[in-house]
Amino acid sequence: MINAPVELAASSRRQHLITVIVLGILAFILQIAVAPHISIAGVVPNFIMVAVCVVALTNTPTRSSVYGFVLGFAFDLFSQGPLGIMALILTVMGYTLSTLNRGSFESNWLIELFVAAVAIFLAEVLHAVALAIIGYDANIVHSLLFRALPGALFETILVLIVLSVAKLVPRKPEAKKRTALAGLDSKQAQKAKKAAKNKSPFAKKWTSERKIR
Amino acid sequence: MALAPKRPKRVSAGIVTIILSLLSVVMMTVWILEEPTGPLHSVRAASLTLAAPLQQAGTFVGVPADEVRKTVDEITTSEEDIAELRARNEELLALTLRLEEYRIENERLARLLDVVDAYSLSGTTARVISRTTDSWNRTITINKGTSDGLSIGMPVMNADGLLGQVETVGLFSSTVRLLMDQRSGVAVFLQSSRTEGVVSGSSEGLLYLDLIPLAAPVKQGDAVITSGAGGVYPKGLIIGVVASVSHDSSDVYQTIVITPVKRVDTYEEVFVMTGRQSEVSWNPDALAESKKDGEENPDDAQSPDTNQNTQDVLSVQGGQPAQQAQNDDTQNSGGSQSSDTSANSSARSARGN
């Protein structure tokens, strides 16, 4: 009886982890098998970056950075660039995006998309600059114009599609689930929500987390 | 009162990120510093073998995508383009007939000198199973690897000309870096004027012919052919034709854009040259014999053109051991880019990149 909420939470976490892993495998397969065939003017979409972006918007910073590293390393293995460059970029991107998201704009879908687009663009620019620094890419201006910018646009569209699909999928409201896990009734949950509303976004997040614990 | 379960101590997300970032930087540094046969390069070669079935499966997805692309191309082709292509087709037909005559003459002269055909290349055909998986490289993956005798640096071509060279070799598949890639570089000459230069790829997907002086005569439609200098590619393989020529007043070299003979994304089979080739090989005994025959029968003496050909053969003979030695050096070091890429970097610096 006492362990029921804990078991429920563990089961939910496991389910979430499986979803994240499946998303990673799917992104990897798409990158290897499909992406080369849907390139436009030499710009190949980076499904792996899209997956890291989506996971970072819905997960903890630790999990996001580890996820970014693993998928980035897989990308590096199968591309022809220096090994470790995409792993580095996606690790930093995963951590930063997840930290920002949990701190301020968790509930606003449009802001999420905007910040994801900025993060993707910065990641592409960072990639181009890193390649230029190590002498792999000679013309940084051309790289930015013909690779980074169109690539970022392509990937932002993909993030938009993935987030739209995720919104369409019916799911149990998160707040309700958390309340059930914490053993609170709906009145208590509403009180906590009201109190949190009067505080800053950071305070709101911490209040709700404390209530759950 | 039940005690809450003890939560395990968690490492901060920042620390995890820093550790993983450092690990990535270390990997990148090792990758840059190590030889092409180093451990990280070997890991990539092994992963290529694992990915081959997946990439092969991807070709089924690619078929409808390529069809869509072709249809869009056909729809967007203007009447002017079609008329131009028809005119070009007629020109090419006439050219083919002339070339056939030359081919027959060449065969006859080659028999006379016992010269091996320049295009009797040894190698293996392979199927393209995948194309580049990222925007920063222009590569293809083929379904042949070390088990078929392939190794790093081997030139790859198809019926339309040179495509690139093998860069990574797995057990059953290999990656070929295409000429369009900005890291590729090939020593070439213009067929009409014999002016030597370097063809290199670029990030915008164009082929440039660099190091051609302003005084050199270059016109649209000139064929660009490998010169054999650098020792990686054999002499005489066609790369493309000159599409545009331009230069600024401050330039030292002309800016020449090359159009490949065929679009990169349309071919399915390639030919990997596994043997060692130069343009021609020759038999000195047969040459001496043919000269002797000429002296004995002055009536059958060779024409000035034929004598010129003989001199060409002799000049190839002089250059061949040096080129062969260079080829050996390239093979031993395992370097796939070798001198051709150093030519590429000098060409890029000349272009102001």
- φ, ψ at B209 (rounded to 5°): -105, 115
Which stretch of B12-16, B26-30, B65-69, B345-349 has the lowest confidence by average pLDDT? B345-349
pLDDT of B69:
72
Instruction: Write out chain A residues lying below 8 Å of B175, CB-based.
Output: 80
Per-residue pLDDT reduced to its tens digit, B304-333:
333 333 333 333 333 333 333 344 443 333
Q: Which amino acid is at A87?
A: A
Q: CB distance B131–A37 less than 8 Å? A: yes
CA distance B141 to B129: 6
**What are B149's two structure tokens?**
């005798």
Confidence band for A183, pLDDT divided at 50, 70 and 90:
very low
DSSP string, B245-300: EE--TT-SB-EEEEEESS-GGG--EEEEE-S---S----HHHHHHHHHHHHH-GGG
CB atoms within 10 A of CB B176: 24
A34 within domain boundaries: yes
Is the model more confident about B316 or about A149? A149
Q: What is the DSSP letter of A147?
A: I
Reported ipTM: 0.76
In a domain, A59, yes or no: yes
Residue pair A117/A109 in contact by the 8 Å Cβ criterion: no
User: Tokens in use for A25?
Assistant: 């495998």
Length of chain A as a residue count: 213
Residue of B nearest to A42 (CA): B135
Q: How many domains does chain A have?
A: 1
Does residue A163 lie in a domain region?
A: yes
For B249-269, give one letter per residue: b (16+ CB within 10 A) or e.
eeeebbbbbbbbbeebbeeee
What's the rounded Cα separation, in Å, for the pair B106 and B162?
22
- From CA A209, how far away is CA A197, in angstroms rounded? 14
Q: Is residue A187 part of a domain?
A: no
- Does position A50 have pLDDT exceeding 90, yes or no? yes
Q: Is residue A209 part of a domain?
A: no
**What mean pLDDT, rounded, does chain B reach?**
74
Q: Among A6, A31, A32, A153, which would you mutate to test the B interface (most chain B Cβ atoms within 10 Å of its Cβ)?
A: A32
For residue A173, being part of any structural domain is answered with no
Q: Do A37 and B65 touch (CB under 8 A)?
A: yes
Is residue A206 a part of any domain in this protein? no
Q: Does A193 reside within a domain?
A: no
What span, in angstroms and rounded, lies between the C-alpha atoms of B66 and A202? 50
Domain span at residue A122? Answer: 4-168
Angle at A162 between CA A157 and CA A168, to 5 degrees: 125
Contact A82, B28 (CB under 8 A): yes
CA distance B257 to B202: 11
pLDDT for B89 beyond 80: yes
Q: The domain that contains A149 carries what CATH number?
A: 1.10.1760
B122 with B273: CB under 8 angstroms?
Answer: yes
Q: Which residues of B touch A43 (CB under 8 A)?
A: 135
